[in-house]
């Protein structure tokens, strides 16, 4: 497998970064959040014709077969790693994982890292994902308490700062950096020949994906990410989010429009001096709540992220 890096221009925005400390005495969260004694998960598979979607291990996972082992996109929760890896090997007809790509650093994506790393596999991610996985994370909207670093063997051993591609089993696998979209280290993974796109935690057709504004994400990053993804997809592109059912290219374009409109609305709220509670009270996403659920937490977090990161030009 060969990696070849390509350059991509960064986003022309200015933002301030802030860190938020967890409460004193908060428990350190182990890598296996679900506990070692939980029952084995029921993992379902969907054949994409050359790739397999696996669901039920904590996040959506894509697997591709290769002569030297399988390629995986995301790895589920640590408690489910053994069951997931066995399911991947059955689905791909392989005996090992050659490459695991982490779309971001949240525990639901990185639970298989240690097993893959100990078996000598490649773990590929953005450099900021490796940074988070190498240090204690003290605050996140994605979990309570503190998150312990992964063992060194479980951390990414190949990283990128921007965009590029890798060759795997005759397929070109493209990846790209989506700054500050869900975390501050998000990657998309695109398999053009299969019309297949993995977007991690940036989009969903079942919920409002969190903005981890305590770790670099903000609403402007979400908008820019969906604008970028909207330029990659075709109407029938198979789009795999971090959780929930598969999306299409049309879904990505629609969500781009929703978030663009929300961004403009939030700028208006900031200019009016409104805070997160005020934004929630105004229900800016009310027309979409039957489809995506209660938007209160997302709206509050979105405005908080704007208060941290948005600087008017």
Helices (H) and strands (E) in the chain, counts: 9, 16
Least confident of 7-16, 74-83, 130-139, 174-183: 7-16
Cβ-contact 241, 73 below 8 angstroms: no
CA proximity to 252, closest of 279, 233, 269: 233
How far is 30 from 15, CA to CA, in rounded Å? 31
Q: What percent of the chain has pLDDT over 70?
A: 88
pLDDT digits (tens, 9 = 90+) for 171-188: 999 999 999 999 999 999
Domain boundaries, the chain: 23-161
- Rounded distance, CA 229 to CA 237, Å? 11
- Any residues with CB less than 8 A from the CB of 111 and at least 6 apart, and which? 31, 32, 57, 58, 75, 76, 77, 78, 79, 80, 81, 84
Confidence at 19, pLDDT banded by 50, 70, 90: very low
Asked whether 149 and 29 are in contact (CB, 8 A), the reply is no
Q: Which residues pair with 165 in a beta bridge?
A: 4, 174
Q: Which CATH architecture has domain 23-161?
A: 4-Layer Sandwich (3.60)
Task: For residues 69-79, give the mean pLDDT.
Answer: 98
Please tell me the distance from the alpha carbon of residue 137 to that of residue 132, in angstroms, as a whole number: 7
For the stretch 232-266, pLDDT in tens is 999 999 999 999 999 999 999 999 999 999 999 99
The C-alpha atoms of residue 97 and residue 104 are separated, in whole angstroms, by 19
Q: Whose structure tokens read 């405005």?
A: 303
What confidence tens digit (pLDDT) does each residue in 21-60 have?
Answer: 333 333 444 544 444 456 789 999 999 999 999 999 999 9
**β-bridge partners, 99:** 71, 122
- Please check whether residue 1 is in contact with residue 166, taking contact to mean a CB–CB distance below 8 angstroms: yes
- Compute the radius of gyration of the chain from its Cα atoms: 19
Cβ contacts of 120 within 8 Å, gap of 6 or more: none
Query: How sure is the predictor about 8, in pLDDT bands with cuts at 50, 70 and 90?
Result: very low
pLDDT above 60 for 137: yes
């Amino acid at each position: 497998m060969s990696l070849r890096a390509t350059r991509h221009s960064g986003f022309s925005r200015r933002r301030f970064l802030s860190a938020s400390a967890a409460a004193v005495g908060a428990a350190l969260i182990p890598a296996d959040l679900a506990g070692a004694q939980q029952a084995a998960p029921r993992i379902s598979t969907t054949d994409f014709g050359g790739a397999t979607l696996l669901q039920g291990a904590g996040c959506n996972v894509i697997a591709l077969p290769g002569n030297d082992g399988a390629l995986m996109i995301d790895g589920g929760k640590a408690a489910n790693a053994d069951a997931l890896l066995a399911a991947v090997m059955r689905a791909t007809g392989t005996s090992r994982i050659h490459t695991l790509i982490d779309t971001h650093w949240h525990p639901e994506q990185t639970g298989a890292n240690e097993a893959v790393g100990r078996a000598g596999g490649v773990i590929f991610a953005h450099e900021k994902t490796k940074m988070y996985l190498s240090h204690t994370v003290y605050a996140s909207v994605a979990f309570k308490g503190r998150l312990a670093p992964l063992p060194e063997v479980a951390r990414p051993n190949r990283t990128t700062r921007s965009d590029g591609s890798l060759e795997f089993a005759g397929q070109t696998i493209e990846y790209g950096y989506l700054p500050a979209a869900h975390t501050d280290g998000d990657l998309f993974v695109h398999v053009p020949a299969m019309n297949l796109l993995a977007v991690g935690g940036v989009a969903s057709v079942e919920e409002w994906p969190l903005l981890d504004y305590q770790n670099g994400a903000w609403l402007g990053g979400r908008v820019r990410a969906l604008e970028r993804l909207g330029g990659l997809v075709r109407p029938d592109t198979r789009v795999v989010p971090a959780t929930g059912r598969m999306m299409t290219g049309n879904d990505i374009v629609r969500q781009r429009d929703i978030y663009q409109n929300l961004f403009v609305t939030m700028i208006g709220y900031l200019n009016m001096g409104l805070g997160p509670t005020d934004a929630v009270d105004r229900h800016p996403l009310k027309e979409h709540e039957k489809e995506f659920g209660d938007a209160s937490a997302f709206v509050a977090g979105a405005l908080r992220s704007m208060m941290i990161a948005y600087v008017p030009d």
